[in-house]
Amino acid sequence: MTETANQPVIIDGKATAVAIRKEISQAVKYLKEQHKVVPGLATVLVGNRTDSATYVRFKKKAAAEVGFHSIDRHVDEKITEEELLQVVKELAEDENVHGILVQLPLPKHINEHRVLKSIPVQKDVDGFSALNIGNLVMRGGSPPLARPCTPWGCIELLKRYNIPIEGKNAVVLGRSNIVGMPVAAMLQELNATVTICHSRTKNLQSHLLRADIIVAAVGKAEYVKGDMIKPGATVIDVGINSKPDKTRKRGYRLVGDVDYAEAKQKAGAITPVPGGVGPMTIAMLLKNTVNLCCSNNNIDISQVEAQAKAATAPSYPAY
């Protein structure tokens, strides 16, 4: 596909996530019919934070739509650390649960690290256990049982839009454990030449202008401007920030880490905010759950994926 400088490919994360969910539904159907097993996702919500409850509700809805076995544990915010560890232990021992998600943040009196560490790697649906991260960055070893969802969503968008990665210069802006570091490892895994930029990086613009692929995950509204982007580069915007806007009923609008209006004039392909990376996170969480289900039951995941894709066969624009 040939695009002009001010008509980039808009990478539609919402549509891609819908396609992935359809594939997962087919995978669940195949696992149920051929192997008599249903992927199970357990969520643990502590307290009544509105944002946490909203995220969990979205995840529960997505799990139900694809046919997962779903278990929810909503406990009082005054629960002790030991009691919460017991909840996780019970879910870990449940053969019908293949992925465990403890919604963060936890109350201050609870050690988050200790709770997350108690989740067995075989059920680490977020993909953040030390073993999963270690396997992600080790060349030639065992693949991770699950991958961090948002970074994996970025990579999946690149793949499904047929954007070349191998041999390309990729700049990851941000070095968080949640996005920056894992997505850098995944890009390297696919043979990109990766530069990680952060708050101490000198001459940031010079690094960005050499990039064929930019992944922005810095948490600053519209930080990456058009003059920082090489013509034709692919821009993956992970950020989601609120910006005051008196024309909106709620008084603000959501923007990414990239100045979308300016970047569109330079990029060859770009994700919008909202509707880009955001919808992919839950889709990849569901994909991790299927992978863990297959791993826990010694089922060949490649066969399951092939059956699912054959039943859906979505198409994406060539880039």
Q: So which residues are the catalytic ones?
A: 59, 103, 126
Distance from the Cα of residue 163 to its chain's centroid:
18
Q: Which of 189, 192, 188, 186 is nearest to 165 (CA)?
A: 192
Task: Tell the residue number behind the tokens 């519209």, with chain if given.
Answer: 222
Phi, psi dihedral angles at 265 (to 5 degrees): -80, -15
CB contact at 8 A, 115 and 81: yes
3-state secondary structure of 19: helix
Q: Which of 148, 142, 146, 150 is nearest to 123 (CA)?
A: 146
Task: Please give the Cα distance from 115 to 110 (Å, whole number).
Answer: 8
Q: Which of 153, 205, 197, 194 is nearest to 170 (CA)?
A: 194
Q: How many residues are given for the chain?
A: 319
**CB under 8 A, 24+ apart: contacts of 88-92:** 88/44, 88/115, 88/118, 88/119, 89/118, 91/42, 91/44, 91/123, 92/118, 92/119, 92/120, 92/123
For residue 136, CA distances in Å to 23, 145, 193, 298 come to 24, 9, 17, 20
Helix H or strand E encompassing 140: none
CB contact at 8 A, 316 and 1: no
Q: Which of 231, 127, 225 is nearest to 181 (CA)?
A: 127
